[in-house]
Structure 1
């Protein structure tokens, strides 16, 4: 299971073939670390590295049950009162075909940007699931943290928001059912911002965090 994954996005990828090369960095009794890089080919045939990832893996089922936290699940409406594609939710600018494989319902309080009235709070909240109905697993949590529209929309900034670096921590195996995602930005300066994401499962457990 992934415990901590840190990805650096080096160059913009394009639709087409890609090559992934992996390397075992360290193997231990409880944790192991690996590295992976994704390459594509430029027009002149040379390889261009797109993403480099360093990740630590272990067995989530061996973690102790003790939880001490001040974190609280996000306050947001039920799924039936949130907005998805069938409810006329706005299409995410620049979104790709991957969104067709997701079941996302956004908190109406965080979609003011769609009608030209962003809240200015730098917040995004929503429900997340897979379109084929599969229950979440540790690997899908890596997608969940980066699936919602960028918080910059609610700050009044629309358009492409490329990710420079993303670190995700998987805290426990998620319970069956939809996930709740809350993303916040506290500081935008020099054209860059941070997004802190929390993912909560149907058992009210904090199952993933990212920045």
Structure 2
């Protein structure tokens, strides 16, 4: 279980100081099954709720509470995804960029600058960007994007788990846990598994 500290970390509001800078993050890049999701979030400058942090540092209950708050109070937010078929066709890195581009394009308020978690990105037309390694633990809007990407993807995997309960996606969300890999060996891959990944079965 991730830590669930009672102390709110000190995160920065933006990198450039621009009011419509969007934070970007993805979820599901390292999974064996399911799409990759990404979120883009523009926050008000004074948005700094208790517990806001990288989604991996929060419990599921805390993530859901923050998701509700982010969706209600963000200047703009959007979620994009790239399918298993797209991951197979263009590789997971390009699919992650595609999901991020779809999220940015769906923002109700255009982003003036993009700040994303990681060290590489494919430029989005009309919006300069900056990469921030471990940015989800440094910037509020990237932390918010990590929470939305994670919670929306987990929700999607719960739906897929109803059709394919044998893989335990309700618990592992498609990540390569020992139980997931054992299920792959027992049942073989589903249509939602990523054929370009090394599947242990």
TM-score above 0.5, yes or no: no
- The TM-score normalised by the length of structure 2 is 0.21
TM-score when scaled to structure 1?
0.21
Higher relative contact order (CA 8 A, sep 6+): 2
Q: Which has the higher helix share?
A: 2
